[in-house]
Chain A
Amino acid sequence: MNCREAHPLLPLFFDGELDARQLRGVALHSTRCPSCEQELQQLERIQDLVVNAVTVRADEVDLSGLWSGIEPRINVVPPSWMVRARSWWETHQYDWTWPASALAALGAAALLAFALSPAAKDARPPQIAGVDNSANLDVVESHVDSMALLSEPETNTMVLWISDEEGAGTEEPGGLP
């Protein structure tokens, strides 16, 4: 990189706005070129002067009344519900922890007590029944005179009917259909 190429890039170099390749080219050139090096030093001095001048002027500005002027205007704007909800949460987030934990523990204990209590067991209906009563029998060893196996189709309830009396065929009214 020569002076003609480097010179227009010096302000950008000083402000750190060059890409890596140009940055490297300008830096190498300025180390070998007194003119460009001098130019960079001048830029540094100008920057120092500007910073000092601005700092001095800024220090002279009176900002003491700034917040008092802004605050009343902020307060008249009502906070959104999200802001209020967040504020409530931040205030009360510790308040419910113990009651909630205690409630959870009590609930669990109550459920457990109910599950294991005799009352829960006795709460079941005393009837002996089920919706699907399907069953099967292996070989039946029987010592009775007659035996019949019937099934009720709706619930598949099976009945093993045994009779060991003479005249079993003359079933009294009400026996097997």
Chain B
Amino acid sequence: MNRRTAIAMGMLSLWAACVVALEAKAEESGGVEVRIGAVVASNAGQVFDQRLASLRRQFDSLFQYTSYRLIKEERRMVSWGRQAGFDLPGGRYLLVIPRECKDNRVSMKLILVEGSRPLFDTVLGLRNQGTFLVGGPRHQEGRLIIAIAADTNAVPR
């Protein structure tokens, strides 16, 4: 092989790698990763789950509980317009339907159900990669706080 052939083969390898990477990216752009975290906030003890470290500032500012425990976390890739249901502690159920991502804001319909009774039904516009909190329902010794995050840049699992 001469020099030109060797360079051509190297360039071809790079090109092939780029094509595969771009295809993978295109596949993942077909939806949004929805992440749900269920947190029990209470005044029983002084425990702060380290997996919630990045939310500590918000929790401290918004609430006055002394203990926060992450009892469930789930992340799922959801196609636009499709629905995804997340089982939550206490027989609750969160239905998420991503609609679109416009101006870096993810629009999604949220329905929280407790048993057979809907607690609320709304459409949330959330900054991409942002987190929205729903709190209030009683659970165990405290209250349940549900963190809902959406990320269109996430890699599908």
Contacts and interface: CB of A to CB of B under 8 A. Distances in A.
B42 to A, nearest CB: 7
Contacts of B35: 128
A61 interface: no
Contact of B142 (A118, A127, A147, A174): A174
- Determine the interface band of chain A, counting residues with CB < 8 A from chain B: 35 or more
Contacts of B43: 172-174
Given A133-B131, A160-B136, 11 more contacts: A94-B2, A105-B14, A105-B17, A127-B51, A128-B35, A129-B147, A133-B58, A160-B122, A162-B119, A174-B63, A176-B63
Contacts of A136: 124-125
A119 to B, nearest CB: 11
A141 B138 contact: no
Given A129-B131, A140-B120, A141-B121, A111 B17 contact: yes
B136 A161 contact: yes
Contacts of A108: 13-14, 17-18
B119 A128 contact: no
A104 B14 contact: yes
Interface in A110-163: 111-112, 115-116, 118, 120-121, 125-130, 132-144, 147, 150, 152-163
Interface of A: 93-94, 97-98, 100-102, 104-105, 108-109, 111-112, 115-116, 118, 120-121, 125-130, 132-144, 147, 150, 152-165, 172-177
Contacts of A176: 62-64
B118 A157 contact: no
Contact of B17 (A109, A129, A172): A109
Contacts, number: 187
Given A112-B21, A128-B35, A174-B42, A152 B58 contact: yes
Contacts of A162: 112, 119-120, 134-137
Interface residues of B, number: 63
A108 B22 CA distance: 13
A7 B41 CA distance: 118
A69 to B, nearest CB: 40
B10 A159 contact: no
B42 A152 contact: no
Contacts of B120: 140-144, 147, 160, 162
A36 B152 CA distance: 96
A121 B34 CA distance: 14
A137 B133 CA distance: 12
B118 A115 contact: no
Given A135-B130, A161-B136, A121 B157 contact: yes
